[in-house]
Amino acid sequence: MKTSAKNYIITIRMSDAPQDLISEIKQLISLQCEGEYWDFKREWHHNKAELLHDILCLANSRYIGNKFLIFGVGESNTKKHFAVCGVKVRDKNRKDTKDLDDFLSARDFVGGLRPLVHVERIKINRKQVDVVIIEPSNNVPFVLASDYLDQPEKEAPKTIRCGNLYTRVADKNTPINKTADNDIAELLWRRRFRIDATPLDKLVSYLSSPDDWPPLNAGLENEFAYYYKYDPEYRLYFSLEETSEEDFLGKNWIVGTANYSTIKFMLYDTVIEIYEYNSANKLEYSFIRPLFVPLGETYVEPLMMAYYIEGSPQHCLSNFIREKFMNQLTGFREEDPLREQNIIVFQSEEEKEEFTKYAKEIACSFILPQIWSLVDENKGPKWDREDYTDWVSTKVLKTVYIGWKNNH
């Protein structure tokens, strides 16, 4: 029976999806202890206040990365040994991602900032294990703005207190009736306000508010600049001089060329980093040069991918200039940017590596035939074969990524 490309993609993706997570959870179980970013539970909580307490403690731990609340793993009754016991499939307290999202959304958090979580269901030793993954965030500490009490039938009530900071140190949670020590609270607030962040990390945070960057009189004819009004030593200098020729992405503009100019990120008088942006047609069309990676030589052509990592300086700058240049000069804004058909925005380096592995697996059977067909049929006179192949390759890979992501 012939398998469609769509079904083929789904089959590959779904079979590979949980393997990294399974390996990580198995590794944590093998350590035979709990830790700063993982906690084992034999079953789902009866009392939702206790569930919220565990989530808050993990979310506010000092560890930077994913944290795991793992259900279906517990200690033996006879000795301290962690083993997979599995969750009850029909447990009325069991929750999925939507259940947890609805539960957290209904709670009153200070500043409206709450942990982001999702649930993955995996099998280990043929037993069902539920993993609540608490995503990393700099918006710590997460604190309730009003008390939350829950009292299941025939059980003692439990209350999460307004203003209490719950965290996790080593394998110990802050008791539900107490708040964290001042040194932990200070560390988390320093992370929230990026006090200990590098200049690039601070830049990424500042770029999320384009309206807070007023223009700066740079004093040079071929340059314009912006500064961050709450931290004026952070400045971006945009050159209007073309410093490098267009790449294959720039050849598909409707009007004009797309040669690149530089952006200097400066802190005081020090150049921290230099980026490139296209300067086509008096800024009406603008984007940051993405990162490119060939996925290895194939039969005839390389497989080229163009991408940003979400939250990286390149990605944040691209969003920034789209907003800042929107009404620049002519007030014209590109309504349907062709470049966005080609540039993938990965959520993380890990996601990029996972997709790269997947793309290589189906390159010869699925991706390359599409590329060759498009190159042979549609190459226009302004293109040479190498550039057009790269342009088509990035576009096809973006389409494949969307399908892969939707079935993740």
What value does the mean pLDDT take over residues 362-378?
A: 83
For 393-404, how does the pLDDT look when each residue is reduced to its tens digit (9 = 90+)? 999 999 999 999
The band of 5, judged by pLDDT with boundaries at 50, 70 and 90, is very low
pLDDT at site 40: 97
The answer, yes or no, to whether residue 21 has pLDDT greater than 80, is yes
The answer, yes or no, to whether residue 331 has pLDDT greater than 60, is no
Other CB atoms within a 10 A radius of the CB of residue 172 amount to 11
> DSSP code of 317?
H
What value does the mean pLDDT take over residues 187-202?
A: 92
Other CB atoms within a 10 A radius of the CB of residue 120 amount to 17
Contacts 24+ apart (CB under 8 A), 375-384: 375/301, 382/251, 383/251
What value does the mean pLDDT take over residues 54-61?
A: 98
Report field, pTM of the whole predicted structure over 0.85: no
Most confident by average pLDDT, 51-55, 72-76, 363-367: 51-55
One-letter amino acid at 356 equals T
pLDDT at site 345: 94
Average pLDDT, the chain: 86
What φ, ψ does residue 312 adopt, rounded to 5°? Answer: -80, 160
The band of 148, judged by pLDDT with boundaries at 50, 70 and 90, is very high
Q: Which residues pair with 234 in a beta bridge?
A: 267
pLDDT at site 336: 47
The count of residues in the chain is 408
CA-to-CA distance for 232 and 246, rounded, in angstroms? 33
pLDDT at site 6: 33
The answer, yes or no, to whether residue 245 has pLDDT greater than 70, is yes
CA-to-CA distance for 39 and 360, rounded, in angstroms? 36
- CA distances to 28, 204, 246, 323 from 315, in Å: 34, 9, 19, 13
The band of 37, judged by pLDDT with boundaries at 50, 70 and 90, is very high
The band of 15, judged by pLDDT with boundaries at 50, 70 and 90, is very low
pLDDT at site 295: 82
The answer, yes or no, to whether residue 134 has pLDDT greater than 60, is yes
For residue 118, give the nearest of 102, 106, 107 by alpha carbon: 102
The answer, yes or no, to whether residue 181 has pLDDT greater than 90, is yes
For residue 54, give the nearest of 174, 191, 149, 135 by alpha carbon: 174
What value does the mean pLDDT take over residues 148-166?
A: 95
> DSSP code of 112?
G
